[in-house]
Structures are given as structure tokens and as C-alpha cells.
Chain A
Amino acid sequence: MMRFLSVLLLLLFTTGAHAHTIGRSSSDWTVADGATKGQWVMASGEWKSLSGGQGADAAALVKSFLYLEADGQACPLTLPVPPRDRDGEMVLTISAPCAADRISFEGLFKAAPTHVHLLRVTRGAGQTEYLLTRAQPDVSLGAEATGGFGPYLHLGIFHILEGFDHLAFLLALMLAVRALRPLIWCITGFTLGHSITLALGALGHVAPNSAVVEPLIAFTIAFTVADWAVARSAAPKRLMTIGLLAVAGLALADQLTAGILPPVVWAGLLLMSTGIWGISLEGEEKAVRILPLVTIGFGLIHGFGFVGVLTDIGLPVESRVLALFGFNLGVEVGQLLFLGAALGAFALLKRFASRLLPVAEPVFAMAILAVGLFWFSERVFFT
């Protein structure tokens, strides 16, 4: 058990810098007048990761990732404009002196197997979109679009299962809410919350600030474990005071250094901590009643985190709502798969090694708390 926890902790810490390891990018191509021109856009961080840092030869790198073909012949690629950083996004302008009929990102998926790419191609009056992954790294441009419900469902599942911070929050929630029925209510609240903000963000009605959202997601993890600790502590008031002082200390440190989180957010976190931990002091019954509502709020924050992936890739113009629905459903499916596995593992542990539970539970809680605080500190103080 201890070994398992150590491995889990190591895994979570080592993936700390990028809690989501899926790379995302999109490209727009126009095939006209015997030439193919495209613009490939990805987060600058993703480009750095793909290019292995500074000094890489962009043209050579693009040629190793991307392959265009016309009538069975390879099209020579050029970058007529040097790659440029546009507000944190790397923009690669590519052209080829042929009317491509096949585009392949096989090289990209070899280098980054979890990368997901949305390809938009304009030929004549029509535009077609394809979602490319390692499973489908290339496309013949006459083929039917693959950017609708199915691929986005797959992307949603993929995203949640690779999103260690969301999984860590679910584990923290499982720790704080032990009974199945309240847990179902909490998960429902979380789902409702993130569905709302995911839809609002993905459809462009609100624009989440990822620099604030990412630390807040980490905060919800540490906070949920702290709530569990306050509810079960022999000296809950003292623990709550320590917790509030810790939050105030972090707020002060942030404001005196990078100032990543706005004061209004810190004020909100202090109020929220006081309120939720205060209710926890009043007994488990009240705490359990309010938690589903709290998880709606946390879901709103995590939903903003999910928006990031769709912002990087974009939604297909023709089927935005369907793709969004697919992605959200994928997130739910992934979430349920993970919860099912975690509950199964817990049931097995309870059945075959129940004597370990009194030790495993606090160790597990401390591990999740440490991971949450680590991610939070990293995203606030070491960005």
C-alpha cells in the first residue's frame, strides 16, 4: 500500500509542471491555384516542448512533423514567414507549391503520441475539418470530415484521464465524502458546474484566465483534503485557524511577489475557507448537505480548466455544439471510468487489507494535499 502511494505521489509530482500532458494544436489550410498554404497554431509552451527548447530549426522541425502529398508525390514545404509568437501562441506559416490531396501529421504523433490536432481545410467553396490523433495521423482531403461528436467524445475521455489535477480532485472528493449517495450528489454537482463553464467558455461567452484558473484548480484539491482533515480532527478549531492563516499567508506571499491571483480571488478563497470549514465544525451532517453545492462551485472552476483544451484546438465550425456535447460527455465518461476504478480499488482494499485502512487513509490524504499544494505553489510562485 505504502509503495503504491509512493508511486502515485511520485507520478503526480513528476507530472506537476504539466498536469495535462495532452498537446493540442490546430491548423487552417487553403488549397487553391495549384498551391497549398497553411497556418499551424499551438501554445508556445507546446512548441517549446516539441522543439526541445530554443534554437531549433523551425523549417526542419515542421518538415519532420508534417507531410503533404499531391498525386502520390511529396510536396516540398517552406516557411515563407519565420515562426512568430502571437500572445503566447506560436504561429507557423507553411506553404507548398502543389495542390495537396493528403496531409499527414504522422511525424508529429511519433514525437508526441498524445497530441491532438484539429485540421481545417478549405478547397474551393467548402471547408472540412478533421480531428487528427495518433490513431488517425493523416487524412485524404476528399474524405468526409472527422471533427464532430465522436472524435470530441474521445478527446474528452482522453483529456480527463490525462488530467491528473482533475483526477486528484476526484480522489480528494472521495476522501472527504465517504458515503456513496452524498458522493453521487457531489459528483453530480461537480459535473453540473464544469458543464456550465465549459459550455460558456467554449462558445466564447466568457473568457477564463488560465493563469488564475490553474492555481485555483490546485487550490480546490488541497482545500478539499483540508476540509476532510478539519471535519475529522480532534481539534478542528485549531486546524481551521491554521488553515485560514495558511491561506492568508499564501495570499500575502502572492501579493508581495508575482501577484498571480487578483485580490478579489484571494478574498473569495478566504471567505470560502471560513464558510466551508466553519460548517465542517458544525458536524458532518451539515457539511455533507452543503458539499454538493460547494462542488458546483468547484466544478465551475474546473470547467474553465477544460475550456483550455478546446481553446487550443478549437471547435469545428459546422458542428460546434455537437462537438462540445461530445467533449463534455467524454469528460463525464472518463470521470466515471476513473471513479469506478478508484471505488473498485477501495472496495478491494477494504475487503482484503482492511487493517491497513487506518494508516492508509491519512497517508493518502497527505499525499493528495501535498500534490495540491505543490501544484498551487508551482502555478503561483514558479510560473
Chain B
Amino acid sequence: MASSLKTKLFAASAFVGIALAVAGSIVAPAKTQTPGGVARVNGHEITKAEYDQALKAYAGSAADALDAEGRKAVLDKLINERLLIDRAFALGLPERDAKVRQAILSAMQEFIVAEVPEPDDATLRAFYQAHQAEFTPPKQYAVRTLFIADSRDRVRLGRVEAGLKARVSFAELASKEGQAWDGTPPKAALPEGLLVRKLGPSGAAALPTMKVGETMGPFEAGHGVYYLHLADVKALPAPAFESARTQVLADWRRLKNAEAMKAYIAKLRAKAEIDRQGGEGTAP
């Protein structure tokens, strides 16, 4: 090969090589639109998925048949929305408007709990076993009452106390000394939560401490007082897992969602700089 041709070839090789090296060290210009995007507004991309969803919302099943004018209108709507959202943030609406703030908080909560996976059957059964007491129906109490309309009626009260001491049956004593009372509980056994409405908190609170056949009182009820007699207690068995599945799932979700929220907030707090001005809200 002639020397000059060889030199030219070497020179060409050198320059092409340098050109390739220089060209390869330049970052490809940022595309104004990524393959999945249909528009870019202030640097924010409107994705194809968002656009398709908007088309469907606008035209339903006829979205595919929408003409160019209609499609442009939908995209314009998305662009306008993006501009308004950007503006809302620029104006500080999330800080200033309670409704916006609440909507964002709700959306964030949904976003966080959306990360919680669905439990499988074994997880739910294990959860049920560990929390069986919470799914077991509460004890039901069959009670009788003896009401004295005037708490200052010492004579009647004295007779009742004497009767109780003499072990007169409560039914007999009640029919003899008891007065009419609109708070009289039904004879059927009921859970403590329901009885509290009739008996008031002090009488209902005494029930778990009483033995069947025991009488306690007097408890105050308006201007009067009443004696409480526990006739029977029914302890219901825990339900089978299958019949409680819906409640187990709901409880599992509630617990896990609370845990996810707590962990997420803890992470945010770890990164955040929180300065309680003037010690406000700190423990004394």
C-alpha cells in the first residue's frame, strides 16, 4: 500500500475515532416526551395511561372512535388540570385550605395503606387464633331488679335489707317491696354493653364481679335506688373461624393499616426537622 494512502487511512481512522469518542461522551438530548408520555407541562409528564383513562372517562366505550378534535379537547383538559394543580401548589393551597389539606391527607393515608399486602388464609387463621378472645361474643347476664322510687324511703329500704339478710327469695322480695320502674331490664340474658343502658354504669360494672344468685345494691337510679340480682350468666363459645372470617379480615386490615401508618410516619419523622416552638406540646 502506498505510504501516503496508508497515512491518509490512519489519519481518517484517528479523526473518526476521536469524533466517536467525543460524540459518545455527550448525553443524548432529553426527549421532550418519553415513550409513555403524551405531553409535558412545566416538566411534568402526562402519561399515555392518564390520557387513555381520561379519554375513557370522556367518551366511554366510544373513546377509540373519538375524532382528532375530541382527543385534542381531552388532552387540553388534562393540560389545564396540570396547570391548575401546579398553580395550587404555587399558591400554597395545601397549607391554606383545610379541605385541600384533608383531601391530601386522606389520599396519603390511602396511598400508605395500599402498600399493605392482602393476607393469605394461613395468616388470617393464625391472627384469629392469636386474637380469639376478641372474636368471642361477650358474656350475657340475666338480671332482676328491685326498685325503690324514693331513695329517702328508709322504712322500705330497711325492710328490703332485712329481707335480704333473712335470705328471703329475691323474686318474693321484689314482688312485695319493688316499685314500678321504666329502667327494669328484660328477663332475657343480655351482654353488659346493652344492660348498661338500663342499669347505668355502676350497676353494669358490678355484673362481672357477681356470682349467680348474688344480690348487690342499692345502686342509684334517678331519685330512686335499685337492688340488682344476678339470675344467670351465659358464656358463649368462640365462633368457628369460617363464620368469623369477614370480621377477622377487617380486624387484620385495621391493625396492619395502623402499623403501616405508624411505620411510615416514623420514617418521615426520622428525616424531618421538627422544632416545637417554645416547648409547645412537649411533655412537662
Instruction: Give residues in A with beta carbon < 8 Å to B.
Output: 59, 78-80, 82, 197, 206-209, 212-213, 216, 261-262, 264-265, 267-276, 278-279, 282, 286, 290, 293-294, 297-298, 300-301, 304
Contacts and interface: CB of A to CB of B under 8 A. Distances in A.
Given A80-B273, A272-B13, A274-B10, A294 B18 contact: yes
A276 B14 contact: yes
A290 B23 CA distance: 21
Contacts of B22: 197, 268, 297, 300-301, 304
Contacts of A262: 24
Is chain A's binding surface mostly helix, strand, loop or mixed? helix
A82 B272 contact: yes
B271 to A, nearest CB: 4
Contacts of B11: 275, 279, 290
A273 B10 CA distance: 9
B215 to A, nearest CB: 65
A72 B268 CA distance: 36
Interface in B1-56: 3, 6-7, 9-27, 29-30
- 8 closest A-B pairs by beta carbon, nearest first, are A268-B20, A272-B17, A275-B14, A271-B17, A275-B13, A297-B18, A265-B24, A278-B10
Contact of A275 (B12, B23, B24): B12
A331 B7 CA distance: 34
B20 A59 contact: no
Is chain B's binding surface mostly helix, strand, loop or mixed? helix
A208 B273 contact: no
B182 interface: no
Contact of B24 (A82, A268, A270, A298): A268
Contacts of B23: 264, 268
A275 B21 CA distance: 14
A376 B21 CA distance: 15
Contacts of B17: 267-275
Category for how many chain B residues contact A: 20 to 34
A212 B15 CA distance: 19
A78 B16 CA distance: 54
A268 B10 contact: no
Given A271-B17, A274-B10, A209 B273 contact: no
A208 B28 CA distance: 9
A260 to B, nearest CB: 11
Interface in B234-264: none
B10 A297 contact: no
B67 interface: no
B272 A275 contact: no
Given A208-B25, A272-B18, A278-B14, 17 more contacts: A79-B273, A82-B273, A207-B27, A208-B26, A213-B25, A262-B24, A265-B24, A268-B21, A269-B21, A271-B13, A271-B14, A271-B16, A271-B20, A275-B9, A275-B13, A278-B13, A279-B11
B275 interface: yes
B29 A207 contact: yes
Contacts of B27: 207-209
A262 B17 CA distance: 13
Given A268-B16, A294-B14, A209 B3 contact: no
Contacts of B10: 274-276, 278-279, 282
A286 B20 CA distance: 23
Contacts of B18: 268, 272, 294, 297-298, 300
Contacts of A216: 21, 25
A78 B17 CA distance: 52
A212 B9 CA distance: 27
Contacts of A267: 17, 20
Contacts of A293: 15
Contacts of A301: 21-22, 25
Nearest to B30: A207
A274 B12 CA distance: 10
A374 B272 CA distance: 41
Contacts of B25: 208-209, 212-213, 216, 265, 301, 304
A262 B22 CA distance: 11
